Structure 1
């Protein structure tokens, strides 16, 4: 199993953005589920700050897959979260909880994450926080 990917997810679950950033290449390309590609660690850090304000999440049931070349990896997991503050264009937040299957895909270069792509079902999330 790729240690960089494991460290990245361990840092995510610890809420440690600096440790997540340490796993990334300087020019990381961050492809978010419903948004534009962000390039660079600064853009990634801004995204993390926004997410920390609006959501508290913990990832469980993690399964990590790695290509034999060591340059690609993927992970499947469950996002267990609480919606803390309203995100513009989304339902009003009032501490709703959610449980959502998700996945991430990675490109690795020189031991760092050069690309991260995250997917989840936004309609499922909206339904859960709208109940």
Structure 2
């Protein structure tokens, strides 16, 4: 399988750009953790099944829960995900994928989404409570 990936900068070799089609292919093969950095309200409205919600404001605090995994960072249109990957490359010990176009492009391609809150959408609150104790 040929992976289409692109580096936006030569300075962060662990961060790459990928279109939703390649992110979906790697996700289906369990090679990537989907890290949704939107707000809980956005997550409830629509998200990719199995995506882990960690709102962007809590990424640094909760990075221990995903830093050792290969992740695809996802937001609504791609702006926050770009900041969370290229602006915070120190959060990822392995590869971090910036998903081009975010959820808007994912949905326009007809890929699967679900609505409502699930266990993966609530984990970040549990982890945050544990850290604050």
Q: Give the TM-score taking structure 2 as reference length.
A: 0.26
* Bigger radius of gyration among the two: 1
| More contact order relative to length (CA 8 Å, sep ≥ 6) | 2
Q: Hey, which of these two has a bigger chunk of strand by percent?
A: 1
